[in-house]
Structure formats: C-alpha cells, structure tokens
A and B are shown apart, each in its own frame.
Chain A
Amino acid sequence: EAGVTQFPSHSVIEKGQTVTLRCDPISGHDNLYWYRRVMGKEIKFLLHFVKESKQDESGMPNNRFLAERTGGTYSTLKVQPAELEDSGVYFCASSQFVSATGRTEAFFGQGTRLTVV
C-alpha cells in the first residue's frame, strides 16, 4: 500500500514567486494535516482537513498560504507570494477514523523542502 506522498521533494524559488506543494494521502484517509518545520525548530501544525473541509486552520501563518483539498483526496498548499521566512520543510500527514472517537496514527510523508532565496 502506498504511503503519504509529497511533491516536489525539493523546491527553490525566489522571493515573491508562487509555489504549490502537493500531498497525496493514504487512500481512504479522511484526515489530512499539513505541518512545517522551520530551521531545525519544532514541527508546527498548519491545518487539518476532514475530507474536503477545513477542520482547523489555526496554524496557518498568514493569508499568503492557501490550502485546498477539492474532492477530499489530494491536497495542495500554495504560498503566494513567498517570503524568505517561508523556507523550511513542509510535511503532510494523513489518518483515518476507526470509530466515533478513534483514529489511526498519523502517517507522514517525506516532506517538501522549500527554499526561498
């Protein structure tokens, strides 16, 4: 079974440009999360989708970041325009509901390393 996959694995863009990151969760997983690790610090939560709905987007840093999950399958995270402080590793994770209150563990993708120059 394929795990969580992210594209691209690396991206180098200039300040002011736009970048779109993609995440394909494990098939059938309704929960999809985006996280970011900046400069060796902690992995910070960005947002959580349940199917196509944004359940929690409290971690999104500002309105330059836009996440979508049309159809409830793959998700994209767009940064427009990119700033230097957006550099870091962006992780996607997915999990599935197994009961009314239970979930599988969150499985992480390998991450996209974004460098803004």
Chain B
Amino acid sequence: GENVEQHPSTLSVQEGDSAVIKCTYSDSASNYFPWYKQELGKGPQLIIDIRSNVGEKKDQRIAVTLNKTAKHFSLHITETQPEDSAVYFCAASRRPTSYDKVIFGPGTSLSVIP
C-alpha cells in the first residue's frame, strides 16, 4: 500500500544550527507534499507545501526540496530557534482528485537546545 517513510525519528540541534528531515514516498502518483508542525497539545498545522512541478520552495527560514525521480523530499530549517521544537510530519497525497487522502510519515520530534 501507499506509505511515507521519515527520518530521523528524533533530532536535537543547537539553537542557530540547521535541521534537516528527509522523507520518501511510495505512490508515484503523489503530486502534493505538505509538511505539518505539531506543537504540544495542538493539532498538526501546515507550515509549507510543495507540488510535483516544483523542485524547491522556500519560506523565510524553512525550505522544502523534492526529487520526484527518487521519490524523496526534505524539509530544511535554518537558524533554528527554541520555538521550532515540535513534531514535524511529512505527507503525500494526490491533488486534485475526487478525494485527497493524505498519507503521513511517522513524524520527527525536533528539539532545539538553547
């Protein structure tokens, strides 16, 4: 079945350093790749997304890259801050379709050490 793998499962970085989370997906028809951030006690919140016709997207300190041939996509956070500490989920789906079931990765718990 469709699945998304995500690594690492936990990541600790010093404040100011960069953090990289990598994902792979199995469904070659996937064309939309959102990233969610879940803070303690809250639901997942979309922070950035990328579509299959784009190789890279950047929004301030976060960037995502996509390699459709290899079915890899990554999240890069630069100049990390303590408030970046959270669980990050990568995901993949087919959009637009008659439905947009999202397949999530298992999550990466990021800790930014002040």
Contact = CB atoms under 8 A, between A and B. Distances in A.
Given A35-B104, A42-B104, A103-B100, 7 more contacts: A41-B106, A42-B105, A56-B99, A91-B44, A103-B95, A109-B43, A110-B43
23 contacts: A35-B104, A41-B106, A42-B89, A42-B105, A42-B106, A43-B44, A43-B104, A43-B107, A45-B101, A48-B99, A56-B99, A56-B101, A58-B101, A59-B101, A91-B44, A93-B43, A95-B100, A101-B96, A106-B46, A108-B36, A108-B44, A109-B43, A110-B41
A40 interface: yes
A1 interface: no
Q: Which of B4, B49, B107 has the most CB of A within 10 A?
A: B107
Given A42-B106, A43-B89, A105 B101 contact: no
A115 to B, nearest CB: 16
Contact residues of B: prevailing secondary structure: loop
Contact of A102 (B49, B89, B96): B96
B103 A45 contact: yes
A44 B45 CA distance: 16
Interface residues of B, number: 24
B42 interface: yes
Interface of A: 4, 31, 33, 35, 40-45, 48, 50, 55-56, 58-59, 91, 93, 95, 101-103, 105-111
Which 10 pairs between the two chains have the least Cβ-Cβ distance? A108-B43, A101-B96, A43-B104, A42-B106, A56-B99, A42-B104, A108-B44, A110-B43, A105-B46, A45-B101
Contact of B34 (A50, A101, A105, A110): A105
B102 interface: yes
Contacts of B41: 110
Nearest to A44: B104
B96 to A, nearest CB: 4
Interface in B1-54: 4, 6, 34, 36, 41-46, 49
A55 B43 contact: no
B18 to A, nearest CB: 25
A110 B101 CA distance: 19
Contacts of B4: 42
